[in-house]
């Protein structure tokens, strides 16, 4: 059982207030970023099928009047989302459904399992491979059966907290969850997959660092940064605080048309990531989820990776991979 820690009786922390103030409708987004009016009706329709959510600290890094801004493109609802899905694009492109081992728990690979800590995210990325995922049915946020399954399987040495975004949860809930995972002797590592510190860097506050820095588990924070301009001074400072708490920090990006599908953009991303103390890890090809076909790049990936190897030291070149439903590991493409 998870011991219940009382929620702090105080004002919500800054990150929660910022999350509550996120832009959630196309009209507001259009007004704040001075976007061309002709795109607004389609944006309203697309946002009705997959909700719009953009925190204002992230929005502040975008350039007004530029619909092709690489940060805006990631969150901008467009007409292409409403087109019939092309061949090969599905609601579950990476096989999450068949991988559900227990309520709230997915396992695809040996030795590690993914716990759906929450179905909520701080930002709604339009290419999200779980944009159609049935979080309520899958048991996101319901942990008892998942923890029991992890405890019963000594082969599981690593627990991955994902979702949604695990850092959308309040720290008292996360501290309880991590304490329950810590109590399972064969679990050695805790991995957090998160975009929250990118869009809400205030999320990395003293409360988060207290439980993260106090765990016996080796902790790995896997960021999701797709473009160098996502890393401003506040995001870099958040990464510094995580580093001081003892977390290993990696970045996994997605190759996105018009966002980062060039040698220049990828090289700048790798350099900016390392400057912030985050090591490039994976570059994923697009997960072919229905509604996101317009993000699939036609770039020559072999030439892209060759260009990065010529330009960067080897430790800064991410591994190009594709996730395939039912695979025993991510498929290397480079």
Task: Reply yes or no on whether the pLDDT at 5 is more than 70.
Answer: no
pLDDT digits (tens, 9 = 90+) for 252-309: 999 999 999 999 999 999 999 999 999 999 999 999 999 999 999 999 999 999 999 9
Same domain membership, residue 174 and residue 113 = yes
Same domain membership, residue 218 and residue 295 = yes
Same domain membership, residue 212 and residue 136 = yes
Domain-located, residue 146: yes
Same domain membership, residue 167 and residue 61 = no
Q: How many domains does the chain have?
A: 2
Task: Reply yes or no on whether the pLDDT at 9 is more than 60.
Answer: no
Domain-located, residue 156: yes
Same domain membership, residue 69 and residue 134 = no
Same domain membership, residue 210 and residue 115 = yes
Domain-located, residue 158: yes
Give the span between the Cα atoms of 54 and 43, in whole angstroms.
14
Same domain membership, residue 215 and residue 167 = yes
Domain-located, residue 23: yes
Per the prediction, the chain carries an average pLDDT of: 96
What's the domain range around 29?
Answer: 15-82
Same domain membership, residue 145 and residue 257 = yes
Task: Reply yes or no on whether the pLDDT at 209 is more than 80.
Answer: yes
Q: What is the CATH number of the domain that holds 227?
A: 3.20.20.70
Task: Reply yes or no on whether the pLDDT at 6 is more than 90.
Answer: no
Provide the H-helix boundaries in the chain: 14-20, 26-33, 40-49, 56-59, 70-75, 135-138, 144-151, 171-182, 196-199, 206-214, 233-244, 263-275, 301-311
Q: Would the pTM count as exceeding 0.75? A: yes
Task: Reply yes or no on whether the pLDDT at 8 is more than 80.
Answer: no
CA proximity to 181, closest of 115, 242, 107, 247 = 115
Same domain membership, residue 304 and residue 228 = yes
Same domain membership, residue 286 and residue 233 = yes
pLDDT digits (tens, 9 = 90+) for 14-44: 999 999 999 999 999 999 999 999 999 999 9
pLDDT digits (tens, 9 = 90+) for 306-318: 999 999 999 999 9
């Amino acid at each position: 059982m998870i011991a219940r820690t009382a929620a702090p009786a105080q004002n919500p922390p800054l990150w929660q207030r910022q999350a509550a103030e996120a832009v959630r409708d196309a009209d507001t987004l259009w007004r704040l970023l001075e976007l061309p009016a002709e795109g607004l009706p389609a944006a309203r329709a697309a946002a009705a099928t997959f909700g719009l959510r953009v925190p204002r600290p992230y929005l502040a890094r975008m350039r007004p009047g530029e619909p092709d801004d690489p940060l805006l493109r990631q969150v901008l609802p467009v007409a292409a989302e409403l087109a019939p899905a092309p061949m090969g694009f599905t609601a579950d492109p990476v096989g999450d459904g068949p991988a559900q081992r227990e309520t709230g728990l997915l396992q695809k690979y040996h030795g590690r399992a993914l716990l759906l800590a929450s179905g909520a995210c701080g930002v709604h990325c339009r290419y999200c491979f779980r944009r159609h995922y049935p979080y309520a049915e899958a048991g996101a946020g319901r942990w008892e059966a998942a923890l029991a399954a992890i405890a019963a399987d000594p082969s599981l040495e690593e627990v991955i907290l994902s979702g949604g975004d695990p850092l959308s949860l309040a720290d008292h809930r996360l501290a309880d969850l991590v304490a329950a995972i810590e109590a399972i002797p064969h679990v050695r590592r805790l991995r957090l997959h998160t975009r929250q510190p990118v869009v809400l860097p205030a999320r990395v506050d003293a409360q988060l660092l207290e439980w993260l820095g106090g765990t016996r588990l080796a902790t790995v924070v896997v960021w999701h940064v797709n473009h160098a301009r996502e890393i401003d001074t506040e995001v870099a400072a958040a990464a510094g605080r995580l580093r001081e708490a003892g977390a290993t920090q990696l970045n996994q990006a997605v190759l996105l048309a018009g966002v980062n599908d060039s040698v220049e953009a990828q090289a700048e991303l790798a350099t900016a990531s390392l400057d912030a103390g985050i090591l490039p890890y994976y570059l994923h090809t697009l997960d072919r989820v229905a509604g996101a076909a317009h993000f699939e790049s036609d770039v020559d990936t072999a030439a892209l990776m060759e260009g990065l190897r010529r330009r960067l030291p080897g430790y800064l070149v991410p591994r190009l991979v594709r996730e395939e439903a039912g695979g025993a590991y991510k498929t290397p493409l480079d």
